[in-house]
Amino acid sequence: MTVLRNRFVRRVAETAGILFGVAVLVFVMLRAIPGDQITAGLGTEAAALTPAQRQALEQYYGLDQPLVTQFFSWLGNMFTGNFGYSARSQQSVLELTMNALPVTFELAVLSIVLALLIGVPLGMLAASRPNSVRDAAGQAVSLAGLSIPAFLLATTLLSVFAASFGFNPNGQGFATLLEDPLLNLRQMLLPALVLGFGIAAPILRTTRTAVLEVRSDDFVRTARAKGVPERRLQVRHVLGNALVPIVTMTGLQFGYLLGGAVVVEQIFSVPGIGRQVLLGIQQKEYAVVQSTVLVIALAFVLVNLVTDLLYRVIDPRVGAS
Amino acid sequence: MPRGAFSAAGLAAALSLALTACSSPSSGPTGTGTGTGTGAQGGGGTLVVGVTSDPDTLFPWKATQFQAVNVLQNLYGTLTEFDKDLNVVPGLAESWEAGDGGRKLTLKLRQGVTFADGSAFDSKDVKSSLDQIMDEKTAAVARASLSSVKAVEAPDPHTVVLELTGPDAALPANLASVNLAMLSSDDTEEKLNATPNGTGPFRLAKRVASQSITLARNDAYWGPEKAKAATVEFRVIPDESSIVAAMQSGNVQLAVFNDPLVAQTAEGGGTITVAKTPQLNYHALQLNARKGDLKDVNVRLAIQCAIDRKQVLDTAALGEGEVTGPITAPAFKSDPNKRPCPTRDLAKAAEYLGKAGKAAGVTVKAIVSQGEYATSVNEAQNLKAQLAEAKINLELEVLESGAFVDRWVAADFDAAVALNGGRPDPDGSYGRYFTSDGNLNKVAGYSSPELDELFAQGKAATDQAARKAVYDKVAAELEENAAWIWLFAGYTYTATTANVSGFVPMASGSLQYLRTTSVG
């Protein structure tokens, strides 16, 4: 019990440390970028401001406060649930995040599902006969997934589907899963496919390597000698024991996806968390970027935690050790 | 388990096919989308306009972003307006008259005008608006446009008198800017950022942050005709190519592009009509005549003579535009053939460098924006190549757009490859840059007593022909001193689907004629 409690306390302390580090890093980096909310909003017209006008605007945006005050005031507000306010959107950052995060989460889940559906079977197929035609085909798919840039695949799919088939649900206003599930799934189809294809590549490679490694283990030879059917052997014994690296890779990719796939979200007009951060950076809305990045970092930490817990389910030896 | 896995794959494939199969090719001309309350009344349909960005503010006095201005000019009214040819016509002021040797401007206000909230518009609102804009604490971007206004009086509800420091012929044109929109004296910035309350042809119906902003026809609009479309939805589609795709599938009916490549793509499909309108905005190589070798007019003239502007236009913008002089407003347009070296003349450039004592060549550092507009880097590279042939080394510093703006605002550059906004009145375009007390003179990097005098004459002259003559002299003064190197003006591309009619594109890029646009 004490061991468990110590582990829990250590984990919470680590998470808090990571989040504080992220908060400091984002705060400093944002201030290091040239310009501020005034020049971002007014553009070159900011040159025409008189000193008194500039001072009035600095006061309005809270830029007249010392940096340390700005940092701790923002961080303190975060603890009370006040994530800041977006003047551009006329909404609180919490409200913006509560709208964007489920969209990104849904896109991430769909992308990961598609990636697993492509990557795992193809990885197993490739590993089933190394250096054969099927292995080469698997490697080719993996290479394509890694090499074709998401923006290129996304733009091509969008243009071809829109021009040739008139299929472009993303041209309509975005519908959430609750508002219109069918339209939402149609709008998520192409972005999830683009992201899933890209993520399938590392999953495919990881699966192939892990399966190849497990296949050469003694227990596989023993199972085969005992007459376990080949399909059952491949899935239950081989894939089952190769799952840990696959889950690790999937968890990592899922974590990245929760950070928002900015380019794909831009092209398909998906109002996710990546777009929220990008707009925040473009408009130099410090509170929007800082708070959203902190939420993303927290999500990443949580995904890693879930991945760690999954290890124990997949392989009881992890828990025992 | 493997069977299950394969079943899942099959299910996903079937789902994809089903989703594709049951999708309609388009949402139709009304372009109805989720989360876009239409509020349609009395027919007219919904016009969907594709835009790359959400307005960054809904407060008209601080709006400089293109998308914000386009939305706000449909919500708010101004004392004067521009017609399609950029002539100043009555807006909320029915008429105006100069008196007392140009030291007074009396405006007669339109009667029976109401704000979107139903409250009446009168002279109290005009006085309150102008007073607040002139107050530095408001930080209104058009404060300098009222620099000649000493005081505002409202002798009766339908009359406003502006007391001026002297004659200001540019004032009526300046009053047409949405940055000088008339607001109700009861409203505040905070209130209007959430709920705009103007006298324009539309009122705000719904906003979904970062996704769309929907305007509904203002049935109480004072104009002779109410808006044709019941609602106009500005739908945010961040990527221009995606807007083209949305137009091809019928989800969006109107969009404005600045990138000639995107316009060509849109036109290529055959279902979208693209109208080209010459822009007031101009591309220029800004020179900072207060820095380094550029202090010498001969170095600046050498740069002027070493550039073939047509080549820059052809290389960077696919030839889509016109070589221009400083003034692009149709009524005051400069003749680019009257400049020193109207065509490229390397011998003359060498001669000027020799006069400057720089026969061996000079190095000029130029900032360039990456991403601010489509052609910037291509322009810069072409300029660098051309100038190299004249022993002028243009050192390019390509910056992210935010960093570029930061340096530009601080006038921290020798030269800048820039796309600057033109205005219908040349005083509005250049008075603030090239007069010694202009609020952008630090950035312009050049002023002279001659220019101060000419701009003063331009303000004092009331006759159009006399003003044109003055601004011809301004253009000549600017080019003979190579204050900047004016390159070309591009086109604005208005793309519409076949069921859209009545839209009038303007050289200013304004979308004010959305009110005459209907969706068939």
Quick one: closest CA in B to A163, which residue?
Answer: B248
With contact defined as beta carbons under 8 Å apart, do B516 and B51 qualify?
A: no
* Residues of A whose CB is below 8 A from B135: none
- Give the C-alpha separation, B273 to B285, whole Å: 33
Q: Which helix (H) or strand (E) holds B99?
A: strand B93-99
Chain B residues 42-81 with CB within 8 Å of chain A: 54, 56-58, 62, 64-65
- Give the C-alpha separation, A239 to A210, whole Å: 8
- CA quadruple B118, B145, A45, B258: dihedral sign: positive
* Interface contact B57-A87, CB threshold 8 A: yes
Average pLDDT over residues B63-89: 94
- Give the C-alpha separation, B260 to B280, whole Å: 16
**CATH 3.40.190.10 region(s) of chain B?**
44-52+201-279+491-520
Cα distance from A210 to chain B (closest Cα, Å)? 17
Cα distance from A266 to chain B (closest Cα, Å)? 6
Query: Measured between CB atoms, does B411 come within 8 Å of chain A?
Result: yes
Taking Cα atoms as reference points, which of B473, B487, B365, B337 lies closest to residue B420? B487
Q: What's the pLDDT at A319? A: 61
How many CA within 13 A on the CB side of residue A203? 26
With contact defined as beta carbons under 8 Å apart, do B443 and B436 qualify?
A: no
* Interface contact A47-B249, CB threshold 8 A: no
- CA quadruple A196, A198, A201, A202: dihedral sign: negative
Average pLDDT over residues B348-367: 96
Q: What's the pLDDT at B451? A: 96
Encode pLDDT of B302-343 as tens digits: 999 999 999 999 999 999 999 999 999 999 999 999 999 999
Encode pLDDT of A106-148 as tens digits: 999 999 999 999 999 999 999 988 889 999 999 999 999 999 9
Q: What's the pLDDT at A318? A: 67
The number of beta carbons lying within 10 Å of the beta carbon of residue A9 is 10
Cα distance from B349 to chain A (closest Cα, Å)? 31
* Interface contact B34-A175, CB threshold 8 A: yes
Quote the percentage of chain B above a pLDDT of 90: 77
Of A88, A173, A279, the CB nearest to B35: A173
**B64 φ, ψ (degrees, to nearest 5):** -125, -20
* Interface contact A34-B269, CB threshold 8 A: no
Answer whether residue A227 shows pLDDT above 50: yes
pLDDT-derived band at B79, boundaries 50, 70, 90? very high
Bridge partner list, A63:
none
Q: What's the pLDDT at B4? A: 40
How is residue B230 annotated by DSSP? S
Taking Cα atoms as reference points, which of A193, A152, A186 lies closest to residue A170? A186
* Residues of B whose CB is below 8 A from A188: none
Quick one: closest CA in B to A96, which residue?
Answer: B209
With contact defined as beta carbons under 8 Å apart, do B29 and B230 qualify?
A: no
pLDDT-derived band at B27, boundaries 50, 70, 90? very low
Q: DSSP characters for A132-185?
A: SHHHHHHHHHHHHHHHS-HHHHHHHHHHHHHHHH---GGGSPP--TTT-HHHHH
Quote the percentage of chain A above a pLDDT of 70: 98
* Residues of A whose CB is below 8 A from B443: 44, 47
- Give the C-alpha separation, B294 to B366, whole Å: 12
User: For B60-69+77-194, which CATH class?
Assistant: alpha beta
Of B141, B238, B407, the CB nearest to A269: B238
Query: Measured between CB atoms, does B233 come within 8 Å of chain A?
Result: yes
Q: Which helix (H) or strand (E) holds B413?
A: none
The number of beta carbons lying within 10 Å of the beta carbon of residue A109 is 15
- Give the C-alpha separation, B246 to A170, whole Å: 8
Encoded amino acid at B131, one letter: D
User: For B44-52+201-279+491-520, which CATH class?
Assistant: alpha beta
The number of beta carbons lying within 10 Å of the beta carbon of residue B499 is 15
Of B8, B139, B193, the CB nearest to A56: B139
- Give the C-alpha separation, B194 to A89, whole Å: 9
Average pLDDT over residues B24-43: 38
With contact defined as beta carbons under 8 Å apart, do B417 and B333 qualify?
A: no
Looking only at the bridges linking them, the beta strands covering B362-370 and B415-420 are parallel
User: For B282-489, which CATH class?
Assistant: alpha beta
With contact defined as beta carbons under 8 Å apart, do A101 and A92 qualify?
A: no
- Give the C-alpha separation, B305 to B294, whole Å: 14
**A243 φ, ψ (degrees, to nearest 5):** -70, -30
Taking Cα atoms as reference points, which of B280, B290, B281 lies closest to residue B415? B290
- CA quadruple B41, B47, B53, B57: dihedral sign: negative
With contact defined as beta carbons under 8 Å apart, do B431 and B170 qualify?
A: yes
pLDDT-derived band at B8, boundaries 50, 70, 90? very low
Sheet harboring B149-156: ordered strands across? Answer: B93-99, B104-109, B159-164, B149-156
Encoded amino acid at A106, one letter: E
Quick one: closest CA in A to B31, which residue?
Answer: A172
Interface with chain A: mutation pick from B248, B370, B400, highest number of A CBs within 10 Å:
B248
User: Which distant-in-sequence residues (6+ apart) come within 8 Å of A129 by Cβ?
Assistant: A135
Cα distance from B40 to chain A (closest Cα, Å)? 17
Answer whether residue B12 shows pLDDT above 70: no
Encode pLDDT of B229-272 as tens digits: 999 999 999 889 999 999 999 999 999 998 888 999 898 878 89
Q: How many Å separate Cα A98 from the centre of its chain?
A: 16
How is residue B378 annotated by DSSP? H
Of B36, B56, B252, the CB nearest to A88: B56
Q: What's the pLDDT at B33? A: 33
Looking only at the bridges linking them, the beta strands covering B46-51 and B231-236 are parallel
How is residue B371 annotated by DSSP? S
- Give the C-alpha separation, A216 to A130, whole Å: 12
As given in the structure block, the two tokens for residue A251 are 């968890």
Angle at which helix A93-128 crosses helix A273-282, to 10 degrees, equals: 130
Q: What's the pLDDT at B2? A: 37
Cα distance from A8 to chain B (closest Cα, Å)? 35
Q: What's the pLDDT at B19? A: 42
**CATH 3.90.76.10 region(s) of chain B?**
60-69+77-194
- Give the C-alpha separation, B113 to A203, whole Å: 65
Angle at which helix A286-314 crosses helix A2-32, to 10 degrees, equals: 150
The most confident of the ranges A122-131, A279-288, B308-317, B460-469 is B308-317
For residues B439 and A321, the model is more confident at B439
With contact defined as beta carbons under 8 Å apart, do B497 and B299 qualify?
A: no
Q: What's the pLDDT at A180? A: 94
The number of beta carbons lying within 10 Å of the beta carbon of residue A60 is 16
Chain B residues 201-230 with CB within 8 Å of chain A: 207-212
Q: DSSP characters for A24-72?
A: HHHHHHHHHSS--HHHHHHGGGGGG--HHHHHHHHHHHTTTS-HHHHHH
Looking only at the bridges linking them, the beta strands covering B231-236 and B254-257 are unpaired
* Interface contact A48-B141, CB threshold 8 A: yes
* Residues of B whose CB is below 8 A from A63: none
User: Which distant-in-sequence residues (6+ apart) come within 8 Å of A184 by Cβ?
Assistant: A106, A175, A176, A177
Bridge partner list, B395:
B365
Q: What's the pLDDT at B306? A: 97
Q: Which helix (H) or strand (E) holds B174?
A: helix B171-174
Q: What's the pLDDT at B479? A: 97
pLDDT-derived band at A307, boundaries 50, 70, 90? confident
Taking Cα atoms as reference points, which of B274, B269, B265, B271 lies closest to residue B498? B271
Chain B residues 249-268 with CB within 8 Å of chain A: 249-252
**To the nearest 10°, the Cα dihedral for B402, B408, B413, B416?**
90
Interface with chain A: mutation pick from B17, B22, B207, B409, highest number of A CBs within 10 Å:
B409
How is residue B431 annotated by DSSP? I
Interface with chain B: mutation pick from A29, A31, A44, highest number of B CBs within 10 Å:
A44
Encode pLDDT of B421-431 as tens digits: 899 999 989 99
Taking Cα atoms as reference points, which of B474, B475, B480 lies closest to residue B455? B474
Q: DSSP characters for B320-354?
A: -EEE--S--SGGG---GGGSSSSS--HHHHHHHHH
Among A61-65, A273-277, B16-20, B472-476, whose mean pLDDT is lowest? B16-20
Q: What's the pLDDT at B382? A: 97
Of A173, A234, A284, the CB nearest to B33: A173
* Residues of A whose CB is below 8 A from B9: 117, 121
As given in the structure block, the two tokens for residue B385 are 């190549």
Among all chains, which residue has been given the structure tokens 């820095």?
A: B291
* Interface contact B409-A47, CB threshold 8 A: yes
Of B35, B242, B408, the CB nearest to A158: B242
* Residues of A whose CB is below 8 A from B439: 47-50
A to B CB pairs, distance under 8 Å: 211
Taking Cα atoms as reference points, which of B208, B166, B342, B266 lies closest to residue B497? B266
Q: What's the pLDDT at B5? A: 38
**B342 φ, ψ (degrees, to nearest 5):** -65, -25
Cα distance from B330 to chain A (closest Cα, Å)? 24
The number of beta carbons lying within 10 Å of the beta carbon of residue A182 is 14
